[in-house]
Amino acid sequence: MDQIQHKFVEAQGLKLHLAEIGTGDKVVICLHGFPEIWYSWRHQMIALAAAGYRVIAPDHRGYGLSDSPAEPEKAKFADLISDIRSVLDSLDLPKVVIVAKDFGVLPAYYFALLHPDRVLGVVTIGVPFVPPGAIQYHKHLPEGFYFTRWKEPGRAEADFGRFDAKTVVRKIYTMFAKMEVPIASEGEEVLDLVDTSTTPLPAWFTEQDLEIYGSLYQKSGFLTALQVPYRSFDEEYDMPALEVKVPAMLIAGEKDYVLYFPGMEDYIRSGKVKDFVPDLETVFLPEGTHFVQEQSPEQVNQLILNFLKAKIWQ
């Protein structure tokens, strides 16, 4: 971990934190999800750098060590898309491969659509490219669905506010590592689904890892994180087309709860996703959870390296 360097770049008036390792013109940008930060890519960063790649993992605005916007309630996905361009321009990077997980998949793919001249390929973890209207899973889940609850202004703030940042991360990591879609019952809050006194952390997630996450979310808080992604998915985008032209790969865990959102598994396995990403390779990992890149880093690292060698830099 000591070989990972840290710096800040300006993006639309904010300072964005970047973790970076490796050198050269073969550059990979890693975009995290929630409740993650740059650190969630630690295993991939070290492995890819050892293989000769330069790897950069930003903290999204309002996450980790990056500045928060002045009005977090007005943050939107379009900001993250613009931030990617700011990072590339600041570092004078003409073209990159983007590796993304969870909600980071959305700005990754939309950036590839808006700036095809800047993207060589896309790798996503757990979540495929889902254009607006392609899957209406939220319409088939009850009111207690975590996404629905956290979308409601004030609801998650009250839920999270009962605990310190470290406990919030512990609860969410433990909950999201399970196969079941998180759904709270009436009169129950989402974080009550996990009893930390009886439920241990996943075996691959240490107390030291939790300390790092907790300290960084203590710094940033959760206001921006609740706005983006949970309250911003209804954004509309002026896209020239919805077909991604670059090579892509989806690494999906078969024990990732996202796979069991209504319609998601069929959308992937039926090949419907290829209507939008024609040059897509999909790999299912039988034991993989929502955090498969941390859970099974050697497998994920090798899949990414194979993709880079076969599809991007032969």
Mean pLDDT of all residues belonging to the chain:
95
Q: Which residues are catalytic?
A: 102, 230, 290
pLDDT per position as a tens digit, 149-204: 999 999 999 999 999 999 999 999 999 999 999 999 999 999 999 999 999 999 99
Give tens-digit pLDDT for 112-129.
Answer: 999 999 999 999 999 999
CB distance 276 to 243 below 8 Å: yes
* Superfamily of domain covering 5-312: Alpha/Beta hydrolase fold, catalytic domain (3.40.50.1820)
Is the whole model's pTM more than 0.95, yes or no? Answer: yes
Percent of the chain with pLDDT over 70: 100
Distance CA 108, CA 123 (A): 9
Residues in the chain: 314
Domain extent listing, the chain? 5-312
Mean pLDDT, residues 252-263 taken together: 97
Give the H or E element holding residue 300.
helix 297-307
pLDDT at 241 over 90: no
CB burial of residue 11 (10 Å; 0-12, 13-18, 19+)? buried
What is the pLDDT averaged over residues 268-294? 97
